[in-house]
């Protein structure tokens, strides 16, 4: 579904992604884990088209989208939940969800009901402004809003950031449920290595702009070097 080949990206003259290659197959959950500053957000922004690629290729279902504007990638089924749970704070929860569906040709009412079943708090808070939600609830809303567009590939930039472990568990459980029930394909980047690899089928390790390891999640979780570097083992 997604194939990234030898991708580089820079801020001005400073290159921060150096030849990243990865793939995501339909129906997979793939995690890219790495420390703060490794380049995770830059990679997600470059795949989504909100940051330009310096070199390399991004293919979506075989089509080269490397130079395609972000909104056209959304049209091809790519949906990014950016870092820092960006919701429309003055708008209600219901209006945030409606905005997520504004290009959707699907059954918007049914999709909203599905999101409210997945995250029941969004039904309880339907009429409240998004700005009044807790951090965890805003993250749920940001994910639900992205899913209202019926993405074929959901890109998640560090959904656990700043959230309590119990809230992280709730969110990751909902993602796993959606994956099971609708075959949602996900590419997630995370600093929370344990949570991300527990959710994902496969993973990659990103260190200062380079992928240095890849494998099945259970193999990465069992790898002594990864345990030492990322899991306090």
Ligand X SMILES: Nc1ncnc2c1ncn2[C@@H]1O[C@H](COP(=O)(O)OP(=O)(O)O)[C@@H](O)[C@H]1O
41 binds Mg ion (CB under 5 A): yes
36 vs 180, which CB is nearer to ligand X? 36
162: tokens are 């700043």
Q: What minimum distance in Å lies between the beta carbon of 20 and ligand X?
A: 11
34 binds ligand X (CB under 6 A): yes
193 binds, among ligand X, Mg ion, none (CB under 5 to 8 A by kind): none
Alpha helices, DSSP H, located in the chain: 40-48, 70-75, 93-100, 108-118, 120-124, 135-148, 165-182, 193-199, 217-222, 224-230
Does 7 help bind ligand X (rule: CB under 6 A)? no
Answer positive or negative: Cα dihedral of 131, 106, 46, 156. positive
**Using the rule CB under 6 A, is 124 a contact of ligand X?**
no
Residues 68-97 close enough to bind Mg ion by CB under 5 A: 83
Secondary structure element (H or E) that encloses residue 11, with its range: strand 2-11
User: What is the edge-to-edge ordering of all strands in the sheet holding 2-11?
Assistant: 14-24, 2-11, 55-60, 63-64
Residue 40 binding ligand X, by CB under 6 A: yes
- Regarding 66 and contact with Mg ion (CB under 5 A), the answer is no
Q: For the CB of residue 126, give the shortest distance to Mg ion in the complex, in Å.
A: 30
- Residues in contact with ligand X by the rule CB under 6 A: 11, 16, 34, 36-42
């Amino acid at each position: 579904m997604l194939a990234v080949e030898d991708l580089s990206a820079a801020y001005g003259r400073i290159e921060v992604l150096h030849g990243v290659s990865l793939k995501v197959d339909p129906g997979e959950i793939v995690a890219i884990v790495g420390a703060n500053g490794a380049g995770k957000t830059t990679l997600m922004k470059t795949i989504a088209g909100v940051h330009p690629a310096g070199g390399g290729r991004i293919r979506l279902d075989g089509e080269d989208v490397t130079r395609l504007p972000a909104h056209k990638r959304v049209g091809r089924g790519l949906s990014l939940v950016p870092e820092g749970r960006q919701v429309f704070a003055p708008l209600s929860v219901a209006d945030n969800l409606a905005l997520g569906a504004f290009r959707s040709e699907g059954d918007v009412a049914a999709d909203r009901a599905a999101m409210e079943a997945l995250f029941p708090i969004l039904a309880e808070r339907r009429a409240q402004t998004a700005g009044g939600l807790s951090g965890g609830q805003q993250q749920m809303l940001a994910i639900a809003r992205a899913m209202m567009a019926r993405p074929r590939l959901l890109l998640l930039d560090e959904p656990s950031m700043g959230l309590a472990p119990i809230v992280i568990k709730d969110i990751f459980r909902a993602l796993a449920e959606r994956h099971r029930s609708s075959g949602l394909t996900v590419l997630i980047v995370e600093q929370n290595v344990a949570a991300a690899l527990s959710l994902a089928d496969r993973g990659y390790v990103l260190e200062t702009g380079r992928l240095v390891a890849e494998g099945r999640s259970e193999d990465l979780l069992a790898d002594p070097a990864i345990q030492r570097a990322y899991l306090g083992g």
